[in-house]
Amino acid sequence: NAGVMQNPRHLVRRRGQEARLRCSPMKGHSHVYWYRQLPEEGLKFMVYLQKENIIDESGMPKERFSAEFPKEGPSILRIQQVVRGDSAAYFCASSRLRLAGGGTDTQYFGPGTRLTVL
């Protein structure tokens, strides 16, 4: 049973270019979460999606960032006009059930995409 897949693992972009990060959840999981980790910091929640729906995007920057999880295919985190401050590791996680704390289900994390903006 394959885990959460993310690609690319490493992505280098110049300032002003677009970055597209892909996440394929575990089989049978329909809930996807994106997190960002800056060097030497913990992970920060960005967005929570179900198939074709954004449930919570309270952690997403208001501009340049967008996320989708189409009916078919992987979830995509898109960063337009990247800046140096976008350099970070971006992690995707998936779960089978909608999580509300206190439950027995959990999020499973992918290996991350390391974005470097030159």
Partner 1 sequence: TQLLEQSPQFLSIQEGENLTVYCNSSSVFSSLQWYRQEPGEGPVLLVTVVTGGEVKKLKRLTFQFGDARKDSSLHITAAQPGDTGLYLCAGYFGNEKLTFGTGTRLTIIP
Q: Which is nearer to partner 1, 28 or 104 (CB)?
A: 104
Per rule CB under 8 A, is residue 7 in the interface with partner 1? no
Among 5, 22, 30, 45, binds partner 1 (CB under 8 A): 45
Contact 43, 109 (CB under 8 A): no
Q: Which is nearer to partner 1, 74 or 111 (CB)?
A: 111
- Give the alpha-carbon dihedral of 43, 60, 112, 19, to 10 degrees: -150
Rounded Cα gap, residues 41 and 27, in angstroms: 30
Q: Which of 6, 17, 21 is nearest to 77 (CA)?
A: 21
Per rule CB under 8 A, is residue 44 in the interface with partner 1? yes
The one-letter amino acid at 43: L
Per rule CB under 8 A, is residue 15 in the interface with partner 1? no
Q: Which is nearer to partner 1, 17 or 37 (CB)?
A: 37
Per rule CB under 8 A, is residue 69 in the interface with partner 1? no
Q: Segment near partner 1 (CB under 8 A), from 12-20, 62-70, 71-79, 107-115? A: 107-115
Rounded Cα gap, residues 5 and 23, in angstroms: 6
Burial class (CB in 10 A: 0-12, 13-18, 19+), 48: buried
Q: Which residues bind partner 1 (CB under 8 A)?
A: 4, 31, 33, 35, 41-45, 48, 55-56, 58-59, 91, 93, 98-104, 106-112, 114
